[in-house]
Chain A
Amino acid sequence: DAGITQSPRHKVTETGTPVTLRCHQTENHRYMYWYRQDPGHGLRLIHYSYGVKDTDKGEVSDGYSVSRSKTEDFLLTLESATSSQTSVYFCAISDRGTNYGYTFGSGTRLTVV
């Protein structure tokens, strides 16, 4: 009954290839976020969305782009994958914004070789 799903759960890709990760929600929440989690750095914000076609950059947005054409889907694209983008990527959703907490997906483990 997960209200948020990420796909794929695992992916191995080659340096220089484009990669798209998908976050899908069934909660009709307005806000969606992409974070990456790395040892020694914790969770860092890549991009977020506050509505359909409304997005903004986060702390580590270089090399990433996002799109949100429907409320339920938030796509994260690595335009040309690099080894430094090997990470675990988490999507999160929120209905009333930051002060009210996030619901996270189970993550996508991406390895760039």
Chain B
Amino acid sequence: TQLLEQSPQFLSIQEGENLTVYCNSSSVFSSLQWYRQEPGEGPVLLVTVVTGGEVKKLKRLTFQFGDARKDSSLHITAAQPGDTGLYLCAGARQAGTALIFGKGTTLSVSS
């Protein structure tokens, strides 16, 4: 059973388009994190959200944590080829335990 479901699994878009990636669960998380991974490298932390309803913006990326702390979304405005990569959401169910990861969304942005 996958605790964190990410959708879509693959996304191929043109430069300048907007997109949203979703991360859903039936479980409550104390925090949700988003990572970006490039081929041959480890994931890199983009953001952590901890409060239900929280919205964080990082340049063209907007992250939202659901009110019930069970889901999150990542919205990219005006995607660029440099945004290409694997986007992973990860949840912490309680302090002291390890992160649970979704399977990821592979994003390809072509110019």
Q: Is A113 an interface residue (CB 8 A)?
A: no
Q: Which of B2-47 contact A (CB under 8 A)?
A: 30-31, 33, 35, 40-45
Docked CA distance A44–B31 (Å): 18
B92-A42 in contact (CB<8A): no
CB-defined interface of B63-100 with A at 8 Å, one 1/0 digit per residue? Answer: 00000000000000000000000001010100111111
A105-B42 in contact (CB<8A): yes
CB proximity of A31 to chain B, nearest CB, Å: 8
20 A-B pairs in the complex with CB atoms less than 8 angstroms apart:
A33-B98, A35-B101, A42-B88, A42-B103, A43-B88, A44-B101, A45-B98, A90-B43, A92-B42, A97-B95, A98-B92, A98-B97, A98-B98, A99-B30, A99-B31, A99-B48, A99-B50, A101-B45, A107-B40, A107-B41
Interface residues of A (CB under 8 A from B): 33, 35, 40-45, 48, 50, 58, 90, 92, 97-107
B101-A43 in contact (CB<8A): yes
Interface residues of B (CB under 8 A from A): 30-31, 33, 35, 40-45, 48, 50, 88, 90, 92, 95-104
Complex contacts, A43 vs chain B, CB 8 Å: 43, 88, 90, 101
Residue from A33, A45, A58, A101 within 8 A of B48 (CB atoms): A101
